[in-house]
Amino acid sequence: GIQVEQSPPDLILQEGANSTLRCNFSDSVNNLQWFHQNPWGQLINLFYIPSGTKQNGRLSATTVATERYSLLYISSSQTTDSGVYFCAVNYDKIIFGKGTRLHILP
């Protein structure tokens, strides 16, 4: 079946730094979502981005479907950005990557 790989698995940054999270997938997909799971376990939708680029405040995402990857950019990180970031692709069903755990230090 399709493989979804996220990198890096863990990331520790100082507040104010920028970061790039990557999601690779092994086959063509219908769409892709990025989620942020906060330290309390809540999964929040960030982007629904089958292709192209979207921006929402300090966050932006780019999906290059032909090359089978998506990137999530976080600029000027804040401590509230801490948590796990998941990408999920819609193949014949929704498949999640294992996540990138981001820890922003004050």
Partner 1 sequence: DVKVTQSSRYLVKRTGEKVFLECVQDMDHENMFWYRQDPGLGLRLIYFSYDVKMKEKGDIPEGYSVSREKKERFSLILESASTNQTSMYLCASSPPGAIQYFGAGTRLSVL
Binding site for partner 1 (CB under 8 A): 30-31, 33, 35, 40-45, 48, 86, 88, 90, 93-94, 96-99
CB of 15 to partner 1, least distance (A): 25
Nearer to partner 1 by Cβ, of 30 and 76: the residue is 30
Cα gap 52→70, rounded to integer Å = 9
Nearer to partner 1 by Cβ, of 13 and 95: the residue is 95
Q: Which of 76, 57, 102, 71 is nearest to 18 (CA)?
A: 76
Nearer to partner 1 by Cβ, of 49 and 74: the residue is 49
Asked if 49 and 87 touch (Cβ cutoff 8 Å), the reply is: no
Cα gap 11→81, rounded to integer Å = 12
